[in-house]
Chain A
């Protein structure tokens, strides 16, 4: 299974070099200056970092990040040792609904620092890593918005999207389809690979969930020796 790229290969290394010039002095510039792996890097040699965010809602322009979990991996193993977790106090107060979803209490968030106080540290952790998420549209967009607000310059990074990988792996032309299309929710994807069920909606657990899902997907559908440019988006 390979990512069908539209205009040749996507060269995040070159893009990072460009942004390193343009970004304002500070943590974000240092993040881009640290660079990105070359597109010819084999998947098995790619430093990967699974990431998940919990937010106050689904609209990146309005809602805010309240927690973030990361866990490093490669094509063979997930290393708990590098797992990290942050909570961030939102600018606006939480509504009751999102509290029930996240299992994070008001008082926990009340004591947490603001996102701008920890984003530097988060950037350090993301440095030089290809990010693994389930549904790129959400996580990348939220971090982009946060970065615009805090640094006045976009944060953008290469992603392996387990949802997109699953979509391609389960894709069948309409004439071969039977009944409903397979669900692409994280939990449903995991069940396809007989992975255990986890409680959802904790940023670190969800990061772990997508890390495990990616390992299963690699072992079934992907070539560890293929260039990372075949897969990243």
Chain B
């Protein structure tokens, strides 16, 4: 009698991507090969750096995903899948997974994942990393020299092939691999390639089977391995690895092996994308060149999101790219207008200073001049320099600031002593409304020029802020201005009109309030950090928040940030201009739950700072 595990099949088909391919008759066959595991709280499902050959479906419970550095990347709940990223990379897992509740997991063999992935487009579309790889193969327009599309597979080779003769024993082979520190070994017969042996073969076919050390290597090698020609593109190697589920491909030239490409080589190449982009920026000598790079930024952004980077990593990468544009433009400006007559420091404000930029940002910047500055002598030079830089930043996708907070505005191009006086005024005689507009100046980072000017100013700000607690009362009050849309889960309290009436602004109502809260605490404890997560660490160390509450803020920021990033990636994919307006109807129940939790955290913490920095009532 045909066995149907209806309970399992139905559970799978309630969730993406299985709900969309529920009519695929193969699903029933797949269900029959599922294994089920009950895992108690706190146990590893995929231990750090352990290989993975399973797609996991969370039937009940929850897990957390940790980075190599043991940092929390995200949490996953009932109905979600994990482990596929490593399956697409041939079993190598860069993240680890641990249960945070007692969990019941359905373990789907890699074989089935790869089969469905190959045969069913709806299924594979769901696993977006892969889609991106395919897209790249289909797209011929990319002409950057870092793209896998255009780089020949030979460029990935790092050493000549390590090989052993067919007459070798398992022991000989393992010794050769250990000596050269390689994870694969080519087996040759009179210099002709006839097989390959990998770490995994030694583990599963030799050690696990209890074979004697003197067993001939030919007993466990893979005969007639898939090879590629030295002229093939690296992208084809990626596809072949995924199709055949192999980790190593020997590369041959005129029939002779010249090296081996592994999944690790490819990942390494890929993850450097943003680094290459930055080095590319510094090579440009014209605005046109910079503009053409700026058009690739959406691609880099998408790439990072698809590579499972967290918001911190993405913010960091995007900010460094932004900073590279600023620096390169200033270098070009100094070539054009000559070297500066007095020292200056170009400063980034707001998200770029905090290294939390995303894809779509206005420019917020200013200039600190040395106190040797004399307006009559030097004014014209700096006006021309900053106008040129700000306008060209605009051409490179960093829109002019609507509030005119830019170095090109003479008000924000001042000698250090004037800046210090400004801040003293703002801090000693705080005005709520003015501070609302000025909060961006309290995230200030020198990016080019004499950075000691920015350091001195930051020191001054810290000192003043700690000496004037009344100022913190105002900042705390301002941090309470923008409330998270807590009601939206019940009655859809949404922002805006027209097209945006069904949405709310994640940045304004989720991310900005957290940044504001953290800034107040950071000023209170004299932290010299600018990045919000780093500030939270300082705040935690200073004991400003009750136990565990600082970590809550990190989590909330990550949850909201992740949803925002995914939202922007989807917009880019649909050819739309990325923004911060999220329609709650487009969120999964899991995302909604996360958002609600995050908003509750924000709301509680807003209450807390109101009380914490209440000040004296007179």
Contacts and interface: CB of A to CB of B under 8 A. Distances in A.
B35 interface: yes
Contacts of A220: 40
B36 interface: yes
Contact of B38 (A79, A85, A199, A216): A216
B61 interface: yes
Nearest to A84: B3
Interface string A201-233: 010110010011001100110000000000000
A107 interface: no
Given A77-B107, A196-B104, A212 B3 contact: no
Nearest to A87: B1
A150 interface: no
A87 B3 CA distance: 11
B6 A212 contact: no
A195 interface: yes
B551 to A, nearest CB: 24
A219 B107 CA distance: 18
B61 A194 contact: yes
**Chain B at the A interface: SS class:** mixed
Contacts of A86: 1
B34 interface: yes
Contact of B32 (A76, A80, A193, A198): A80
Contacts of A219: 38-40
Interface in A76-101: 76-81, 83-87
Given A193-B38, A215-B38, A80 B1 contact: no
Interface in B23-70: 31-40, 59-61
Contact of A194 (B3, B11, B102): B102
Nearest to B40: A219
Interface string B89-130: 000000000000110100100000000000000000000000
Interface in B1-30: 1, 3-8, 11
Contacts of B1: 84-87
Most buried by B among A78, A193, A220: A78
A93 to B, nearest CB: 22
B58 to A, nearest CB: 10
Interface string A52-84: 000000000000000000000000111111011
B6 A202 contact: yes
Contacts of A76: 37
Given A194-B101, A215-B38, A208 B3 contact: no
A65 B524 CA distance: 74
Contact of A196 (B11, B32, B34, B101): B11
Nearest to A70: B3
B197 to A, nearest CB: 29
Given A195-B60, A195-B104, A208-B5, A81 B38 contact: no
Given A194-B101, A219-B38, A80 B8 contact: yes
B6 A205 contact: yes
Contacts of B37: 76-78, 215
A113 to B, nearest CB: 9
A4 B32 CA distance: 37
Among the interface residues B31, B38, B60, which one has the most CB atoms of the partner chain A within 10 A? B38
A212 B38 contact: yes
Contacts of B31: 80
Given A212-B38, A216-B102, A81 B33 contact: yes
Nearest to A193: B102
B539 to A, nearest CB: 34
A84 B3 CA distance: 6
Contacts of A202: 6-7
A212 B104 CA distance: 8
B36 A80 contact: yes
B297 to A, nearest CB: 44
Given A196-B11, A196-B60, A216-B38, A80 B104 contact: no
A220 B41 CA distance: 11
Contacts of A198: 7
Contact of B7 (A77, A79, A194, A199): A199
A81 B106 CA distance: 13
B3 A85 contact: yes
B60 A80 contact: no
A220 B107 CA distance: 21
Contacts of B4: 85, 204
In this complex, the member of A80, A86, A87, A196 whose beta carbon has the largest number of chain B beta carbons within 10 angstroms is A80
A204 B34 CA distance: 15
A216 B40 CA distance: 8
A33 B579 CA distance: 73
A199 B59 CA distance: 15
Given A194-B61, A195-B60, A195-B104, A77 B3 contact: no
A79 B35 contact: yes
Given A77-B36, A195-B60, A212-B36, A83 B104 contact: no
Contacts of B40: 219-220
A154 B370 CA distance: 100
B571 to A, nearest CB: 35
A196 B101 CA distance: 13
A203 B334 CA distance: 80
Contacts of B101: 194
Contacts of B61: 194
B455 to A, nearest CB: 53
Nearest to A214: B38
Contacts of B6: 202, 205
B37 to A, nearest CB: 5
A202 B4 CA distance: 11
A99 B244 CA distance: 49
A79 B33 CA distance: 7
Contacts of B5: 80, 83, 204, 208
A207 to B, nearest CB: 10
Nearest to B43: A219
A81 B32 CA distance: 5
A83 to B, nearest CB: 5
A86 B4 CA distance: 11
B36 A78 contact: yes
B78 to A, nearest CB: 8
Contact of B3 (A83, A199, A215): A83
Contacts of B35: 77-80
A124 to B, nearest CB: 14
Nearest to A86: B1
The list of the 7 closest CB pairs from A to B, nearest first, reads A215-B38, A78-B36, A196-B60, A77-B35, A205-B7, A80-B34, A194-B102
Interface of A: 76-81, 83-87, 193-196, 198-199, 202, 204-205, 208, 211-212, 215-216, 219-220
10 contacts: A81-B33, A84-B3, A194-B61, A196-B60, A199-B7, A204-B3, A204-B5, A211-B36, A212-B38, A219-B39
Given A77-B35, A194-B60, A212-B36, 7 more contacts: A76-B37, A78-B35, A78-B36, A80-B33, A194-B61, A196-B104, A208-B7
Interface of B: 1, 3-8, 11, 31-40, 59-61, 78, 101-102, 104, 107
